[in-house]
Amino acid sequence: MDNFDRKKVLLVGYIGFLAGTIACGLAPTFWLLLMARTVAGLFGGLIGAQVISIISDIFTYERRGAAMGAVMSAFALASTLGVPFALFLANKFSWHAPFLLVGTLGIVIVPLIMRYVPEMTQHLNQQNATHDKWGTVKSILQNPKQVQALIFSGLVMFGHFLIIPFINPFMEFNVGFTKNFTPLIYLVGGVCSFLLPIFWVNYRINTAKFLFFKSVF
């Protein structure tokens, strides 16, 4: 993807993500839903990679962490507010509703990207034709600390997405809460996980202990 204008790649990824999301809402069978969700996930991964690349190009090294934190906070907000609202729509109308709403509202963002995001081709001029990209990957894999960081990050994300889908059926069928009550559980849990690091934990323990605490919790 580094061989293309980042704006164009971002647009392709975003349009593909919207198409996959709308296809999820229109899917009449489980297998079509799974295929559409896979497409949305692939393009969503492309969006994430491009956003990180754009931040790296625009911001200096000293400000890059703050910029990435601000962007990644959108994921926390989506988990805190988006999931409960999606459950509310699913309970009120059908499971198709959240996908169709996200896909439809997302179309509004496309012209905004086209108008306000500038072309980003500076990295094309800075590329070295003799640069060994596979050599870079090899050097990363030969660094134990980088490998451990990648594995740990992957396990955290894998566990995150493995648990969250089962919270709703567990609360409904095992604990006995009604469908109308489970969105409130997601909302309260999301708000606590979003505000706790900001107002308390993050200032009292170091980063490693804080990350371990959040992973176990």
Segment 105-146, tens digit of pLDDT: 999 999 998 888 887 777 667 665 556 677 778 888 888 888
**102: closest CA among 178, 19, 201?**
19
Q: What is the DSSP string of 124-143?
A: HHH--TT--HHHHHHHHHT-
pLDDT for residue 137 = 81
pLDDT (tens digit, 9 = 90+) per residue, 24-65?
999 999 999 999 999 999 999 889 888 888 888 888 877 877
Report the pLDDT value the prediction gives residue 174, as an integer from 0 to 100: 86
Residue 173 pLDDT class (50, 70, 90 cuts): confident
pLDDT in tens, 4-26: 778 888 899 999 999 999 999 99
> How do the domains of the chain map onto residue ranges?
1-62+93-123, 142-217
CA distance 29 to 24: 10
For the chain, the first-to-last Cα distance in angstroms comes to: 37
